[in-house]
């Protein structure tokens, strides 16, 4: 494969993580804890396969009729009193958000967990516009203080010890030195409450866009998103066009399913459905509710007959946590918002295929991801379709495409395959694969005689 900057950076980051025992221990510990929780969470289902089938069917239905559902959702959202802004890409979305900030003279924004805002790097834009942005989710808030990239999929980029958090709060926010864990919680809660109460605008993501009621469904365990969006006078929601489900009735399927796979619980503690801004007589809630609906490359995925199914993802992160590659290199190594098998499928189409195609090769194709996906996405097959797409579109080097052609010819003919002896075959394997196989792995060697030859001799 051609070595581009993204590929080179990915490989370098992977090598750093693999050769760092502390990092390896942290990844294994976090994933093992998660696996145990998910196992417990799934115990609530007698017939999990039926539930997964139903969830997959509903999400596929929406993706296959996306135009109809988007219009239905928009109509209902508008009649609830909300405003919709359509954005073709990240730049359009950020431009529109900057206009809202300017018009309303916003100086402080509280933001709660949102993958899509990470996808479009919104925080940096807001910072450049001179707005103070505070992440209200505690883990994100600590990561923000540390200047780390936020990660909402699979394992966190970094797990901070109490001492590290206390040090961060002391150096960045002037808290007393050496706070205990209880004092850390008290300090953080007080600090965030003050910021939430004084912010003019909130920005949140969402888990589902509910078409038949024009509603926004958000599920969480700590009520942070609920508090974040209740107080500021403007609420901005940033969502991808693929987050739709047909009906509110489907939430009794999707909410427990997501909670089981994401956090290993039968259902999360706080589940909110937002249908419009604050109405007359209501005490809390935003006066203005704006939804930015983003395509940002999703249409490129939708165009692909096979890979389209990846848009049915509900963002549980389960495929990442079972992936042997992800388990070894961790989430941050991917350098992308969406990581693990699902990220490897959609990122090349959502960004630049040539630059991110290497992610589709970062898989052993073991199929564990397919086995665990709550909406039955055939992830490992889609990774193969991505590789096929790369070859068809000429995103491989001339040497590579010649080797593939030669191999296809040889592998389709028993006679050709047996023609060279094993020594010659091993020389060919060494010559053609040494570079891509890497220095860390041993190249396989062929046996002196093939199975076919041995069988013939036995007869
Ligand atoms: S592809 Fe499936 S397992 Fe992976 S994050 Fe999406 S829903 Fe979860």
Summarize the confidence of residues 155-180 as an average pLDDT: 85
91-122 pLDDT, tens digit per residue, is 999 999 999 999 999 999 999 978 999 999 99
**For residue 232, how far is its CA from the centre of ligand 1 (angstroms)?**
32
Position in ligand 1 atom list of the atom nearest CA 318: 3
Q: Is 315 in the pocket of ligand 1 (CB under 6 A)?
A: yes
**For residue 34, how far is its CA from the centre of ligand 1 (angstroms)?**
15
For the chain, the distance separating the N- and C-terminal CA atoms, rounded to the nearest angstrom, is 43
C-alpha–C-alpha distance, residues 335 and 119, integer Å: 11
Query: Coil, strand or helix: which one is 216?
Result: strand
Banded pLDDT at 430 (limits 50, 70, 90): confident
Name the strands in the sheet holding 270-274, side by side, starting at the edge strand that comes first in the sequence.
244-245, 208-210, 215-220, 270-274
| Residue 356 domain-assigned (yes or no) | yes
224-243 pLDDT, tens digit per residue, is 889 999 999 999 999 999 99
Summarize the confidence of residues 387-391 as an average pLDDT: 94
| Residue 401 domain-assigned (yes or no) | no
Position in ligand 1 atom list of the atom nearest CA 340: 4
Q: Whose CA is nearest to atom 8 of ligand 1?
A: 316
Position in ligand 1 atom list of the atom nearest CA 261: 8
Whether residues 16 and 98 share a domain: the answer is no
Whether residues 330 and 438 share a domain: the answer is no
State the CB neighbour count (10 A cutoff) for residue 451. Answer: 8
Summarize the confidence of residues 378-393 as an average pLDDT: 96
Please state, for a pLDDT cut of 90, what percent of the chain lies above it. 69
Last residue of a domain, one of 265, 296, 327: 296
Please state, for a pLDDT cut of 70, what percent of the chain lies above it. 97
Q: Is 345 in the pocket of ligand 1 (CB under 6 A)?
A: no
Whether residues 91 and 126 share a domain: the answer is yes
Q: Are 361 and 336 in contact (CB under 8 A)?
A: no
Q: Is 342 in the pocket of ligand 1 (CB under 6 A)?
A: yes
Whether residues 30 and 160 share a domain: the answer is no
Look at 434 and 138; give whichever has higher pLDDT: 138
Which residue from 240, 261, 309, 318 has its CB within 8 A of the most atoms of ligand 1, so it is best to mutate? Answer: 318
CA 367 to chain CA centroid, Å, is: 18
Question: Does residue 154 surpass a pLDDT of 60?
Answer: no
256-309 pLDDT, tens digit per residue, is 999 999 989 999 999 999 999 999 999 889 999 999 999 999 999 999 999 999
Whether residues 56 and 26 share a domain: the answer is no
Q: Is 377 in the pocket of ligand 1 (CB under 6 A)?
A: yes
Banded pLDDT at 397 (limits 50, 70, 90): confident
Q: Is 317 in the pocket of ligand 1 (CB under 6 A)?
A: yes
pLDDT of residue 415: 84
**For residue 313, how far is its CA from the centre of ligand 1 (angstroms)?**
5
CA 159 to chain CA centroid, Å, is: 19
48-75 pLDDT, tens digit per residue, is 999 999 999 999 999 999 999 999 999 9
pLDDT of residue 212: 98
Q: Whose CA is nearest to atom 2 of ligand 1?
A: 373
C-alpha–C-alpha distance, residues 70 and 74, integer Å: 6
**For residue 88, how far is its CA from the centre of ligand 1 (angstroms)?**
24
Alpha helices in 412-450 (DSSP H): 414-418, 422-437
Whether residues 276 and 346 share a domain: the answer is no
pLDDT of residue 139: 84
**For residue 320, how far is its CA from the centre of ligand 1 (angstroms)?**
8
Residues whose CB is less than 8 angstroms from the CB of residue 405 and which lie 6 or more positions away in sequence, other chains included: none
| Residue 302 domain-assigned (yes or no) | no
Q: Whose CA is nearest to atom 6 of ligand 1?
A: 313
| Structure-block tokens of residue 18 | 């693999």
Whether residues 104 and 236 share a domain: the answer is yes
| Residue 177 domain-assigned (yes or no) | yes
Whether residues 223 and 274 share a domain: the answer is yes
Position in ligand 1 atom list of the atom nearest CA 316: 8
Question: Does residue 156 surpass a pLDDT of 90?
Answer: no
Mean pLDDT highest for which of 3-12, 158-167, 287-296? 287-296
Question: Does residue 434 surpass a pLDDT of 80?
Answer: no
Which residue from 34, 301, 313, 344 has its CB within 8 A of the most atoms of ligand 1, so it is best to mutate? Answer: 313
Instruction: Name residue 216's beta-bridge partners.
Output: 209, 274
The three-state DSSP-derived secondary structure of 34-47 is HHHHHHHHHCCCCC
Banded pLDDT at 410 (limits 50, 70, 90): confident
| Residue 402 domain-assigned (yes or no) | no
Whether residues 208 and 226 share a domain: the answer is yes
| Residue 399 domain-assigned (yes or no) | no
Whether residues 321 and 446 share a domain: the answer is no
**For residue 262, how far is its CA from the centre of ligand 1 (angstroms)?**
10
Banded pLDDT at 2 (limits 50, 70, 90): low
> Containing domain of residue 452, as a range?
410-458
Banded pLDDT at 155 (limits 50, 70, 90): low
Name the strands in the sheet holding 288-294, side by side, starting at the edge strand that comes first in the sequence.
83-87, 288-294, 234-240, 201-204, 108-111, 132-135
Q: Is 314 in the pocket of ligand 1 (CB under 6 A)?
A: yes
Summarize the confidence of residues 413-426 as an average pLDDT: 85
State the CB neighbour count (10 A cutoff) for residue 355. Answer: 15
| Residue 96 domain-assigned (yes or no) | yes
Q: Is 390 in the pocket of ligand 1 (CB under 6 A)?
A: no
Residues whose CB is less than 8 angstroms from the CB of residue 298 and which lie 6 or more positions away in sequence, other chains included: 240, 241, 242, 311, 350
Q: What is the DSSP letter of 240?
A: E
Residue 191 belongs to a domain with what CATH number? 3.40.50.10420
Task: Classify the complex by whether its ipTM is higher than 0.90, answering yes or no.
Answer: yes
27-43 pLDDT, tens digit per residue, is 888 888 888 889 888 98
| Residue 398 domain-assigned (yes or no) | no
C-alpha–C-alpha distance, residues 321 and 357, integer Å: 21
Whether residues 344 and 285 share a domain: the answer is no
Mean pLDDT highest for which of 131-145, 156-170, 433-447? 131-145
**For residue 72, how far is its CA from the centre of ligand 1 (angstroms)?**
26
As for how many domains the chain has, the answer is 3
Whether residues 173 and 264 share a domain: the answer is yes
Report the b/e string of 425-445 with b at 16+ CB within 10 A.
beebeeebeeeeeeeeeeeee
| Mean pLDDT score across all residues of the chain | 92
Q: Is 331 in the pocket of ligand 1 (CB under 6 A)?
A: no
Phi, psi of 361 (to 5 degrees): -95, -10
């Amino acid at each position: 494969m051609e070595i581009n900057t993204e590929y080179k950076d990915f490989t370098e980051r992977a090598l750093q993580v693999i050769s760092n025992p502390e990092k390896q221990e942290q990844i294994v510990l976090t994933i093992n804890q998660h696996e145990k929780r998910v196992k417990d969470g799934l115990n609530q289902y007698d017939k999990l396969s039926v539930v997964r089938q139903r969830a997959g069917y509903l999400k596929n239905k929406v993706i296959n009729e996306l135009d109809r559902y988007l219009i239905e959702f928009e109509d209902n959202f508008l009649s609830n009193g909300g405003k919709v802004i359509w954005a073709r890409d990240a730049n359009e979305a950020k431009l529109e958000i900057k206009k809202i900030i300017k018009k309303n003279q916003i100086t402080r924004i509280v933001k709660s967990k949102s993958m899509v805002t990470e996808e479009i790097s919104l925080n940096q834009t807001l910072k450049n516009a001179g707005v103070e942005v505070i992440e209200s989710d505690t883990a994100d808030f600590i990561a923000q203080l540390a200047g780390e990239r936020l990660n909402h999929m699979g394992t966190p980029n970094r797990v901070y010890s109490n001492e590290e958090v206390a040090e961060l709060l002391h150096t960045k926010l002037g808290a007393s030195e050496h706070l205990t864990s209880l004092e850390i919680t008290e300090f953080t809660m007080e600090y965030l409450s003050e910021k939430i109460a004084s912010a003019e605008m909130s920005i949140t993501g969402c888990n589902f866009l509910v078409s038949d009621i024009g509603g926004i469904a958000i599920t969480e365990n700590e009520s942070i998103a609920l508090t974040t969006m209740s107080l500021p006078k403007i609420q901005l929601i940033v969502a991808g066009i693929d987050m739709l489900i047909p009906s509110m009735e489907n939430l009794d399927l999707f909410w427990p399913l997501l909670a089981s796979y994401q956090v290993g619980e039968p259902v999360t503690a706080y589940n909110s459905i937002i249908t419009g801004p604050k109405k007359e007589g209501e005490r809390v809630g935003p006066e203005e509710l704006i939804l930015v609906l983003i395509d940002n490359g999703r249409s490129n995925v939708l165009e692909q007959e096979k890979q389209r199914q990846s848009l049915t993802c509900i963002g549980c992160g389960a495929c990442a946590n079972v992936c042997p590659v992800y388990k070894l290199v961790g989430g941050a190594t991917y350098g992308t918002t969406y990581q693990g098998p699902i990220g490897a499928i959609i990122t090349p189409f959502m960004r630049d295929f040539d630059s991110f195609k290497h992610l589709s090769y970062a898989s052993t194709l073991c199929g564990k991801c397919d086995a665990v996906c709550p909406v039955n996405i055939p992830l490992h097959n889609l990774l193969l379709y991505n590789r096929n797409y790369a070859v068809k579109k000429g995103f491989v080097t001339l040497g590579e495409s010649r080797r593939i052609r030669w191999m296809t010819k040889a592998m389709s003919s028993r006679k050709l395959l047996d023609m060279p002896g094993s020594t010659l075959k091993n020389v060919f394997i060494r010559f053609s694969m040494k570079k891509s196989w890497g220095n860390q792995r041993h190249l396989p060697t062929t046996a002196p005689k093939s199975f076919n030859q041995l069988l013939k001799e036995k007869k």
